[in-house]
Structure 1
Amino acid sequence: MQNTAFINTCVLTLALAGMSLAQAAVSPEQAARLKSELMPLGGERAGNADASIPAWDGGCTQVAPGYKSGDKRPDPFAGEKPLYAIKASNMGQYASELAEGTKVLLKKYPDYRLDVYPTHRCAAAPQWVYDNTAQNAIRATLDVETEKVANAYGGIPFPIPENGAQVLWNYRLSWQGGDTINSPFDTWLMTAGGKKVQATRAQYTYQFPYYVENGSLENFSGKYLIGKLLTELPSSKAGEGLMTHWDLDPANRAAWQYLVGQRRVRRAPNIAYDTPDFVTSGVGLFDEAFMLFGPTDRYDLKLVGKKELIVAYNNNRAGLAKSDDLVKQNFLNPDLVRWEKHRVWVVEATLKPGKRHVVPRRTYYIDEDSWQILMADGYDAQGKLGRQMYSLTLMAPDLPVLTAQVMWGSYNLDTGAYFLNSSSNDLAVQYQKVAKPSASFFTPDAMANENMR
């Protein structure tokens, strides 16, 4: 089959390279595929054999009539009905198309189900992002030892990936809708006993210097993402702040935290790996934030290949719901979560010898069209599947983007507790592009001044 041949070609290419540390860009002949059998960001243009996955036709870029910037995005597929539902009783029929964590949830809860809808390949980006992606394909390189990326700007760095590290960098450097984004959010915890708790309300503003439309590789500093989080609720956390500067060279990454009790900003080198994430009251880990946060250099990353998987996708309806309707005991309300079949890249992350992490193995599932991480299964030291990370991608045709930066979280498959982060369900404003602030906005001093009470 076409998918298998393509994956085998990637594996053979890597083997012939002798597992060199510096992964070279692809040839101009390979890059030309981005204008033929591959879509401009790297996914296969064609649908699958049984047409359950359609061909990509340019993505979803039609803005709903009357939509205004900042409004909640409507569900363009509100009139559709599920094609079928998957429950514990019939999951065997779909086993090859389900992530392992999804199977555990179906087995654990008899009333859990997946409503599977027609697949819509909504991923899209502006033409200049497509153009930069084509250039990156023949110039971008990765040092797999240091995780350093070079010669990439303004598009997907490795649209024709050869290894797992490149695939994860494609997520880090994926198009998120603009160079500056504001995303007010709530974090909801559901306890094992069925109690819904608000862990955080915050404002998160982040800037992508990597995605400045009129910028260039020559003028790019190397910092691809700069973020600032300002906490509003609960009152015990109000005023706390977090700032991160992520660089194409992970050695140059930096993070700062503002602590109200100390009334000062301090460097925060532990904002990474398996440090408990204070935004989720310690339930989640920092490297689970936004599905992937910070370096992965403690892991060996293996590109397993590509497969067809039933995943949560195009969840504008879930984004419109009130949190009380969406966040239910044990799992998100199946009536509100939309599932579709898509092709995903599968990356296995296995802890390196001598390194430590409370989740020594993860399996990441990455959308071939948008490079968003849709799910990740996490295993403990005994090899038991104990957690599943998930994202309910939001489709924003006004930007245009399909993003996993909102409505993501994690299920504890042992206890039944879970959380939903980056939720704007009970807020008036949703994920939106905003004007670029002054350079001082993303400095530690500015964060201290804003948070002082």
Structure 2
Amino acid sequence: MKTTIKFAAAALTLAFTLSDVGAAVTADEAAKLQTTLTPLGAEKAGNKDGTIPAWEGVYTKVQPGFKPGDFRVDPFASEKPTLAITGKNVDQYAAKLSAATVALLKKYPGYRLDVFTTHRTGGAPSWVYDNTFKNATRAKSIDGGFGVEGAYGGIPFPIPKTGYEAIMNHRLAWTGETIQLPIRTIIVTPDGKRAMATEAEQTLMRPYYFKEGSLEKFDGITQYGRLITRAPASKAGEGILAYDGIDEAHPRAIWQYLVGQRRVRRAPSVSYDTPDSVTSGIGLFDEAFMLFGPIDHHELKLIGKKEMYIPYNNNRAGAAKIADLVGPQFLNPDLVRWELHRVWEVEANLIPGKRHVVAKRRYYLDEDTWQIIMIDGYDAQGQIWRGNYTLTLLAPDLPAVLGNIMWGTYNVQTGAYLLNEASNDMPSQVKAIPRLPSSYFGPEELANQGSR
């Protein structure tokens, strides 16, 4: 059976050229996944000057005595920075930095990037590699680029031809099957005041990555997500439930439970540029998890690949105290690790006739994991406005480098910023849990959890 995965509520009415709709690669192209490319499609070799090493496999060295929920140690804790980038030398390195990062370095004299030796720890289990190899020659981009058929259990387009394919790779990147974590959302106002906007429990389950599944059995639901708010008291009990990546018979669905109304309601407004209630409005809903919900108001263009300094392997930041990590203007440079990696760049431009407060975005996707690591967001006047980031957590137990936690947004123009999906100061960190029944992600259970 053919499975269609759709991430927009409806197909675009815009007429796309043939180059916008991808097709499966040839067997000869796919063969590179077993030679010069990694099993997920990255360049296996390092760069010419040796600052990016060759990929030698996903990092799987689990710390002694590790138990699910334990905070993961920094395996590179003894390393020292090889480079410090500041506002004084930023122009020398600007070509390998996001526009928002350059703006922050020039705005704040104390802001600094400590660059460390690059470790290409990203990857996935071997069975995900096997499925990715199959997807390479059978997956096809459909629905104007916002859907795919013929993909299951791996990266759909390890050798992408379009921006739509690259973004779909992010949508379906390996971040584990069923995971749960306690989270805090920390916001910092323009005047430097720090506050906890939300404390919650986040649960994600991804039927697309059921190991024993197959393309023929797959029903089209790529991910269930549930968030239950525990604090502050004014929001305790609120919940959001989302079904992503489904076929035409089951369009993307999202619900919200508001304690004051004591009912679960469909929530189509939890999307696009609606201010994110979880972040007290500093973030936008489609910035959540680096990309959340439909993005069909923008046309996507694959710019190509480049070398870039990005946050990577940030286990030290993941275990730090909030008071130490979240400063009055930016994250503490002493705790954030930056590395040089190759990234895919995808440009998103607002489609004429559509509306969105962010007129243009540039997404930067890590070549080893396909996850979006940084985003530049521009306003209608073409000025840099928003800088989205994820610190990335190295989780050898999954194994994976996780970019769907510890993410946030800098408002370059106002000075406000946030850190979301952070387990800092919480009793446990993100953990793999046994697979849950689908009823756990039902609207009725969302109401039950919220009313407790």
TM (normalized to structure 1)? 0.94
Preserved contact between residue 275 and residue 286 of structure 1 (Cα < 8 Å): yes
**Structure 2 partner of 1:217:** 215
**Structure 2 partner of 1:8:** none
Q: Match for 2:401: what amino acid?
A: L
Q: Deviation per CA, 1:44-63: give whole Å up to 9, x if none.
A: 00000000000000121111
* Structure 2 CA distance for aligned equivalents of residues 87 and 360 of structure 1: 28
> Pairwise mapping of residues 406-421 of structure 1 onto structure 2 (< 5 A)?
406-421=405-420
* Structure 1 CA distance for aligned equivalents of residues 145 and 398 of structure 2: 33
Q: Closer, same or farther in 2 for the Cα pair 1:443/1:381, shift >3 Å?
A: same
1:184 is displaced (CA, Å) by 1.2
**Structure 2 partner of 1:44:** 43
* Structure 1 CA distance for aligned equivalents of residues 243 and 195 of structure 2: 30
Higher relative contact order (CA 8 A, sep 6+): 2
SS of the residue aligned with 1:304? strand
**Structure 2 partner of 1:316:** 315
Q: Match for 1:231: what amino acid?
A: T
* Structure 2 CA distance for aligned equivalents of residues 261 and 191 of structure 1: 27
Q: Match for 1:381: what amino acid?
A: A
Q: Match for 2:320: what amino acid?
A: A
* Structure 2 CA distance for aligned equivalents of residues 80 and 299 of structure 1: 41
**Structure 2 partner of 1:428:** 427
SS of the residue aligned with 2:219? coil
* Structure 1 CA distance for aligned equivalents of residues 310 and 334 of structure 2: 15
Q: Match for 1:266: what amino acid?
A: R
**Structure 2 partner of 1:400:** 399
TM (normalized to structure 2)? 0.95
Preserved contact between residue 21 and residue 144 of structure 1 (Cα < 8 Å): no
SS of the residue aligned with 2:203? strand
SS of the residue aligned with 2:293? coil
**Structure 1 partner of 2:364:** 365
Preserved contact between residue 23 and residue 144 of structure 1 (Cα < 8 Å): no
Q: Deviation per CA, 1:18-76: give whole Å up to 9, x if none.
A: 62564211011101100000000111000000000000001211111222221000000
* Structure 1 CA distance for aligned equivalents of residues 416 and 440 of structure 2: 36
**Structure 2 partner of 1:5:** none
**Structure 2 partner of 1:85:** 84
1:249 is displaced (CA, Å) by 4.4
* Structure 2 CA distance for aligned equivalents of residues 381 and 449 of structure 1: 42
Identical residues among aligned pairs (%): 57
Q: Deviation per CA, 1:62-105: give whole Å up to 9, x if none.
A: 11122222100000000000001001111122121111111000
**Structure 1 partner of 2:334:** 335
Preserved contact between residue 19 and residue 162 of structure 2 (Cα < 8 Å): no
**Structure 1 partner of 2:204:** 206
Could you tell me which runs of 5 or more consecutive residues in structure 1 were left unpaired when the two chains were aligned: 1-16
**Structure 2 partner of 1:281:** 280
**Structure 2 partner of 1:262:** 261
Q: Match for 1:222: what amino acid?
A: G
* Structure 1 CA distance for aligned equivalents of residues 448 and 87 of structure 2: 53
Q: Closer, same or farther in 2 for the Cα pair 1:405/1:432, shift >3 Å?
A: same
Q: Closer, same or farther in 2 for the Cα pair 1:249/1:330, shift >3 Å?
A: farther
- The answer to whether the aligner puts 1:182 opposite 2:180 as a matched pair is yes
Q: Match for 1:429: what amino acid?
A: S
**Structure 1 partner of 2:325:** 326
Preserved contact between residue 163 and residue 301 of structure 2 (Cα < 8 Å): yes
* Structure 2 CA distance for aligned equivalents of residues 103 and 248 of structure 1: 38
Q: How many pairs does the alignment contain?
A: 436
**Structure 1 partner of 2:376:** 377
Q: Match for 2:213: what amino acid?
A: G
